[in-house]
Amino acid sequence: MPDTPQTMPQIGDTAPEFYASSTNGTIHFPHDFMGKWVVFFSHPSDFTPVCTTEFIQFQHDINEFKKINTQLVGMSVGALSSHLGWLDAIEKMPNGAKITFPLIDDLNMHVAKLYGMIHPHVSDTHAVRSVFIIDSKSVIRAILIYPAILGRNIEEIKRMVTALQTADKFGVAIPANWTTGDDVLSPAPNTAVKMRKNKTPWFLTYKKLSKREIHAKIQNKTETKK
């Protein structure tokens, strides 16, 4: 009998629920983070060079994520004792960091399989390089998948979270290469009079939205308290 294909949850699905041990204690995911956005990212194993650089950069930027009400949660296919040894090594590196966000123990690959992170035709865990951006209602809003040799762009992940929150709060869409403070896209005009006011094609309606307006809406806002 062929192996059952791993099914990855899709954008718009509720994040699959699980309990797991982590470097910060037992986690009930995503329940423990209701009311916060979550960046849930996975790694193939501990002590890998690319993943080490990502952990350091995530920690360096953790306050920026906190400002946009976002919790970081890492996962690696390994035992908790190995995780702790890896984090200790990262902390003692000259350019390292003390990792404060949780790293989940997934030695049996239960979470990796639950989230469809392992390709059924791959014999090792090197396919486990995913990022799930999950909103404050535990809905998956974006999924990124990386090869083992390519480090994640942490700035892009922050940009995506900010963009999704901006779209939600203001009822707009986000154009290519957008950064906070750039023009956003409004719904297309629904009357001929409004259409003729557009300086761009009728279906492409830009709207100014300042950094101050965005920050007032999304920064330091806890939508649901535990």
Bridge-based pairing state of the strands 205-207 and 130-134:
unpaired
Q: Terminus-to-terminus CA distance in the chain, angstroms? A: 46
For the question of residue 98 being annotated catalytic, the response is no
* Catalytic residue (choose from 27, 39, 51, 154): 51
The string over 147-180, giving b where at least 16 C-beta atoms fall within 10 Å of a residue's C-beta and e elsewhere, is ebeeebebeebbbbbbbbbbeeebebebeeebeb
Give the total residue count for the chain. 226
Can you tell me the distance from the alpha carbon of 99 to that of 91, in angstroms, rounded to the nearest whole number? 7
Is 154 within 8 Å of 41 (Cβ atoms)? no
User: In terms of Cα–Cα distance, which of 173, 176, 167 is closest to 185?
Assistant: 173
> DSSP secondary structure string, 30-42?
TGGGTTSEEEEEE
Helix axes 154-170, 211-218, angle to 10 degrees: 80
Can you tell me the distance from the alpha carbon of 170 to that of 175, in angstroms, rounded to the nearest whole number? 14
> DSSP secondary structure string, 81-96?
HHHHHHHHHHHHSTT-
Residues with active-site annotation = 51
